[in-house]
Amino acid sequence: MNQPQCSEKRLDMRFDKVFPVMVGSEIYGDSPGVARNISAGGMLVEMVEPIPLGAHVTVHFRLPEGGVDIAARAEVKHHYCFNFAAGAERGQARGIGLRFVEFLEGQPDRSGARTGGMAAPH
């Protein structure tokens, strides 16, 4: 019997990193979140109240290894619900998948610092 094969559609290598982010929208305001993984094309962000699909946002973050603040315009492409168990306790978390549209240079982050330059994603 032939088993269906899954093909990986991602173009960019993903890195499992956990770090805080701020997702901002003119319509929905600023929402804190936790990035769970990142690539040149986007990131997965865990957040209490996911922003609606198709919304355009600005995400501000600092990679754990670097001291440069990064700001990027992104589109909400996916919603996720994570179910997990820790011992007898069961839990649930929600998140969004963001696709980077462009990286912003010289934009103030939420702390008032300015972002460094980065190449735009392809």
Q: Give the per-residue SS3 of 28-65.
A: CEEEEEEEEEECCCEEEEECCCCCCCCCEEEEEEECCC
- Calculate mean pLDDT across residues 2-29: 78
Domain 19-104 architecture: Beta Barrel (2.40)
Max mean pLDDT range (55-59, 81-85, 91-95, 112-116): 55-59
pTM for the full predicted model: 0.75
- What are the CA-CA distances from residue 23 to residues 12, 29, 31, 104, 109 (Å)? 22, 8, 5, 14, 11
CA distance 4 to 14: 24
Q: Span 43-48, mean pLDDT?
A: 96
Percent of the chain with pLDDT over 90: 57
Cα distance between residue 45 and residue 20, in whole Å: 9
The average confidence (pLDDT) of the chain is 82
- Distance, in Å, from the CA atom of 17 to the CA atom of 59, rounded to the nearest integer, reads 16
Within 10 angstroms of residue 57's Cβ, the number of other Cβ atoms is 23
